[in-house]
Structure 1
Amino acid sequence: MLSMVIAAASQPLLAWLMEPVVRDIFINKDETMLLLVPLAIMLIMVIGGGANFCQAVLMNWVGLRIVADLQIKTFSHILNLDLAFFRRTQTGKLIANLTSDSYLIRQATSSTLTSLVKDLLTVVFLVMLMFYENWRLALVVFFVFPLAAWPISVLGKRMRSVVSITQGEIGVLTNLVSETVQGVRHVKAYSMEQREVRRAEKVINGLFSLYMRATRTRALTTPLMEILGGVAIAVVIWYGGSQVIDGITDPGAFFALFTALLLAYRPIRSIANLNATLQEGLAAAQRVFSVLDEAPKILEVDGAGPLLAPDGPVKFDKVKFGYTPGVRALHGISLQVEAGQTAALVGPSGAGKSTILNLIPRFYDVDEGAVFIGSQAIKTVSIGSLRESIALVSQDVVLFDDTIKANIAYGRSGATDEEIVEAAKLAAADDFIGRLSRGYDTFVGERGAKLSGGERQRIAIARALLKNAPILLLDEATASLDAESEREFQDALSVLKKGRTTLVIAHRLATVRSADQIYVLDGGRVVESGSHEHLIGLRGLYSRLYSLQFSEGSK
């Protein structure tokens, strides 16, 4: 703050020195002052320059630190929100919040801290000098620039509105690019390149129009300040010059005031232009804080304790659930997976199989009924201890842009290389990893793009195996494996399942024949349950699905 005050004070000091320049040097021909005044100007410039450097670096550090902390807080908050939030929120919007919105906030924060305060102090000091030199003339100047307050305020509100819309469209563009690049294989397969280009062109042209609106709004500030500045200068020359001619005002005092006016013009114009930047930052901050205002609905109850019996049975008791209000995905589901046993969920698409798996780790909370592990309702235990006891392998495999080793170890921090390799062997992944040039240190690319679908699936399986959790959830975990790899995985799975409670979703019914219990779902209800042989004997939905798959497989 001290450096900012020094930097601001250097400007009126320079203006004040115009008085001895005119009076003592030009009029009185004082040779001593001819030496002292230039030295004083040089000293003021050096001190002012150093103060400007210090305040710019320090205030920028403060501004950048504030925004960096905000980005970290926003990212952390997003990760702690429920899956329901991600179902209704575009990925592009969240990316824009952390990138372009944060950039605008950074610009506004840095500019406000480094420019606004210093420029305001500079104007205040210069106005004080003007009143000191000639208060009547200073009053004339003082009442000219406030006339700009109303139009600048109007322009600021318009800028804020335009920026808010623009940032929303940036989120749309980010989302469009993301989904198009991720789905580029399908784009090319269906020859839809031109359609996607047209979609992008429409959004980009919309952004172009919005940017031009913002540019015009921002540009209006400059001519406004030029006109007012011209009026102020003209009034000062006319009124001040007449006072000098009449002998009322000293020429040195007039030139000191006139110099102060000229020096004040730049910071006043800077403050006016800064309003647009500030409005951009406020619009961006509003979007970021709208995310921070989102509260997770999956919360721990007061006094939630650890899961006491993670190796106990998993039970659904009359569970009802819907992703959207009024639309049920599950209708009074009751089922139980005994400790250490394997249960399979089968049925047509949309029957509610994956929904049941999503409720066990509390990705969502049930609307009615309860889910138990052992004797504890999962709502009464801490979320951390619950999820530490569960390993999940989904058909939608997600790998991170890191090494194979890091992706496998994602399931358990601190795992040794030997444990990672052992998990890969059990998942039938060690052979293909060994054939890669860098082995386990090979980077898999974004979402595992450098690996095949089957290879990605095996890495995900190895991740779950390494976690070694007492509850294992497999959602079409073998969907991308070939017959030989699936057989190897089933062999490993038979060893892994010993002593673990396993819930399996599989569309290929031949893979769940050995399950201890099979639940057949249809329309969010359990319509049949029992062993494979029992269900075949019922000649119901399971028998029809099995016969259909068997007949298709034999063709």
Structure 2
Amino acid sequence: MTEPPKKITDDPYGAAILIRRLVTEQGMAYWRRYLAAFALMAVSAAATATSAYLLGEVINQAYVDRNVRGIFMLSTVVLAIFVAKGAATYGHSVILSQISNAILANNQRRLFAKLMSESIGYFSQRHSSEFLARLTAGATSVTQVLSLLINAVGRDLLSLIALVTVMVMQDPYMSLFGALVAPPAMIVLRKLVKRIKGLAHSQFHGTADIMETMQESLQGIRTVKAFTLEQTMRERIDASITAVEQTNNKMARVSNRASPLMETLGGFAIAGGLMYGGYRVVAMGATPGQFFSFLTAFLLAYEPAKRLARLNIELNSSLIGARKLLEIVDSPASEPDDSDKPALQLTDARVELRDVTFAYRPDEPVLKRMSFIAEPGRMTALVGPSGGGKSTVLALLLRLYEVTDGDILIDGQSISGVSRTSLRRQMSYVGQDVYLFRATIRENIAFGRPGATEDEIVAAAKAACAHDFITGFPLGYDTPVGEHGTQLSGGQRQRIAVARALIKDAPIILLDEATAALDSESEKQVQEAIEHLCRNRTTIVIAHRLHTIMHADAILVVENGEIVERGRHDDLLRSGGRYASFFRLQHRETAPLTLAPLSASA
């Protein structure tokens, strides 16, 4: 049984559908400004056609009538026409540029807003360079498509119509020579479009690969240098660049294959027009002005006609980027807006996990019916081997992922039933890998609570034991931290992160191995800062260094997604189970221990 023929509407990102969407959804918002641009384009087209028509009159006045006054008057009119054309061209070019800039900015905002509505899982499946490519190339392609359409209709088509009108007025029979160019040109160009689409896809993905290698090499420059991977990274990016170069060369060859045909056909048409027009002047008594006017109009019409003939190729090339942008914008958000849900109302900040099961991939559970309660104002510590599911607990509390089964409650309210924004505002998070934005120290601390005063920022820094080293910098709180905070040491970054968490003043604190990567001196300073942060707050802390949580109110040993032991430090040591073996192992490795543990009030 044969399949029914595909309809043009079967592909939601087909050329026709995409063009209609871009025009109706984005172009129509600026229809008044487009109308003004069209009017100016019409003036420019009329000026071009009028100048071609008047050239014939000038020739007749000079060589037939020998009228100097007529030549002077026509020359003045031509000057006025070109001044008007210049002003009109300037006007519509500025208007179209402003529209393009507005559409570009709007699409960049739309894409970024869409990315901010996606879950952590969405990003874990893709490389960030892909989004950068879609943000730049995709948003730019939308403006290119609309500009191509507007210029094709407003500039090229109007100019072509006006010039063809002059040609027909001067000699309708000779105008047929120009029409002979169109059919063979359309046949060739139609065959090139499919080839262009495939090359444009390869071009986009190749560019994304270059950005990926560049980004990874620069962000991991310490690792690249330490492992002498410079040549390896050069080879990787060289392979991507070579692939894109080859694709661009193929694109250049394919997209320009029409040029020799167009030029040849145009040559035949011009040669035929010259022969026929010259014959009419010599043998049939036609005026030379009529012949020159026709020839000028024909030559002026050749460029807009050629651009219109290539329009399909250029549109399909640009539509690839527009498609890549809209694929992201159109996809349903993996973390949809839930601002209509009630806000989390805290009384005691009591956190409870009730039979929570979670899996990143089907049939591979990371947490298995986990249950525990983090009591208000107390510290609950999660310890155990790596990969047991401890960090996943914090991610679920922040609703970076949704539980597969079971429930998480805060003061009796299921966190899935409240808005994410209200939930996350009640929590402060400090992780092992601190992320600082490329800004000043002041700005990074203030990200914890936008609008914080200078006094509040300084107070948070002092409580985080960061004020002294901050004021030791020549620029103080205005010191730039560099990309990812690379201009600060690990301990300094951690204390800035603690200050950012302190200024947020959230009742629930989440700490994910906040001192694991620090030396002993830095760890002592960060631990002192964390004491201030956790005081009288519900705290859930993940720790590998067990001496940092010896005075926690509850210690939970997590293995393979389950809690295998729970209790206080002394009780767990006396029981001689998994915690005791972990502690004895670390105590032998690090003895004598001299660092002060967190106080019981923490």
TM-score in terms of structure 2 length: 0.87
Structure 1 residues 248 and 141: CA distance shift in structure 2, 3 A: farther
The residue number in structure 2 matching 1:525 is 562
**Per-residue deviation at 1:486?**
3.2
| 3-state SS, counterpart of residue 370 of structure 2 | strand
Query: 2:426 — aligned with what?
Result: 389
Distance 1:409 1:530 in 2: 37
Name 1:51's counterpart in structure 2.
Answer: 88
Q: After TM superposition, give the deviation of residue 103 of structure 1 in Å.
A: 3.9
RMSD across aligned positions (CA): 2.1
The answer to whether structure 1 residue 147 and structure 2 residue 200 are counterparts is no
Match 1:27 to one of 47, 53, 64: 64
Are 2:270 and 1:233 equivalent residues in the alignment? yes
Alignment of 1:400-549 (within 5 A): 400-549=437-586
2:360, 2:366 within 8 Å by CA — same for their partners in 1? Answer: yes
Question: 1:91, 1:67 → 2: CA distance?
Answer: 20
- Tell me, yes or no, if the aligned pair for 2:498 and 2:529 is still in contact at 8 Å: no
The residue type equivalent to 1:123 in the other structure is L
Kept after mapping to 2: 8 A contact 1:55/1:114: no
Structure 2 unaligned spans of 5+: 1-37, 593-602
Indicate if the aligned counterparts of 1:161 and 1:283 stay in contact, CA closer than 8 A: no
CA contact (8 A) 2:380 2:539 kept: yes
Work out which of the residue numbers 41, 47, 51 in structure 2 matches 1:10: 47
Letter in 2 for 1:44: I
1:69 maps to 2:106: yes
| Per-residue Cα deviation, 1:126-176 (whole angstroms, up to 9, x for no partner) | 112222333233234224224312322333442332122112111111111
Does the 8 A contact of 1:60 with 1:113 survive in 2?
Answer: no
TM-fit CA distance, 1:48: 0.7
Alpha carbons 1:129, 1:260 under 8 Å: kept: yes
Deviations 1:383-428 (A, max 9, x none): 1111111111111211111100100111001112222122112222
- Of 256, 265, 282 in structure 1, the residue corresponding to residue 319 of structure 2 is 282
Distance 1:292 1:98 in 2: 11
Q: Whole-Å Cα distance in 1 between the matches of residues 153 and 491 of structure 2?
A: 58
- Residue in 2 aligned with 1:398? 435
Q: Which residue of 2 aligns with 1:323?
A: 360
Q: 1:372: which partner in 2?
A: 409
Question: In the superposition, relative to structure 1, how do residues 213 and 445 fare at CA in structure 2: closer, same or farther (>3 Å)?
Answer: same
Q: Secondary structure at the match of 2:365?
A: coil
Following superposition, the deviation at residue 357 of structure 1 comes to: 0.2
Shift of 1:488: 4.1
Larger mean Cα displacement after TM superposition, 224-233 or 235-244: 235-244
Shift of 1:485: 4.1
* SS at structure 1 position matched to 2:409: strand
Map residues 23-422 of structure 1 onto 2, 5 A cutoff: 23-114=60-151, 117-247=154-284, 250-273=287-310, 275-299=312-336, 303-309=340-346, 311-422=348-459
Q: Deviations over 1:185-234 (max 9, x none)?
A: 12222222211111111111111111211222233232232112112112
Distance 2:543 2:372 in 1: 17
CA shift, 1:19, in A, is: 2.9
Structure 1 residue 366 displacement after superposition: 1.0
For 1:188 and 1:363, the matched residues in 2 are separated by 34
Partner of 2:31: none
Change (3 A) 1:275 1:310: farther
Q: Check whether the contact 1:301–1:379 (CA below 8 A) recurs between aligned residues.
A: no
Letter in structure 2 aligned against 1:374: D
Q: Is the 8 A contact 1:397 1:456 kept in 2?
A: yes
Match in the other structure for 2:19: none
Q: Separation in 1 of the partners of 2:312 and 2:473?
A: 56
User: Partners of 1:344 and 1:267 in 2: how far apart?
Assistant: 73
Deviation at 1:499, TM superposition (A): 3.1
Whether the 8 Å CA contact 2:117–2:335 is kept in 1: the answer is no
Segments of 5+ residues of structure 1 without an aligned counterpart are: none
- Judged with a 3 Å threshold, the aligned counterparts in structure 2 of structure 1 residues 240 and 351 are, in CA distance, closer, same or farther, namely same
| Distance in 2 between residues matched to 1:301 and 1:105, nearest whole Å | 30
In structure 2, how many angstroms separate the alpha carbons of the residues matched to 1:28 and 1:518?
108
Of 221-230 and 130-139, deviating more is 130-139
Is the contact made by 1:357 and 1:473 (CA closer than 8 Å) also made in structure 2? yes
In the alignment, is the contact (CA less than 8 A) between 1:319 and 1:334 conserved in 2?
Answer: yes
Letter of the aligned partner of 1:317 in structure 2?
R
Mean Cα deviation higher: 356-365 or 264-273: 264-273
Shift of 1:273: 4.7
Deviation at 1:45, TM superposition (A): 0.9
2: CA distance, partners of 1:303 / 1:96? 33
How many residue pairs get aligned? The number is 555
| TM-superposed deviation, 1:117 | 2.4
The alignment's TM-score, normalised by the length of structure 1, stands at: 0.95
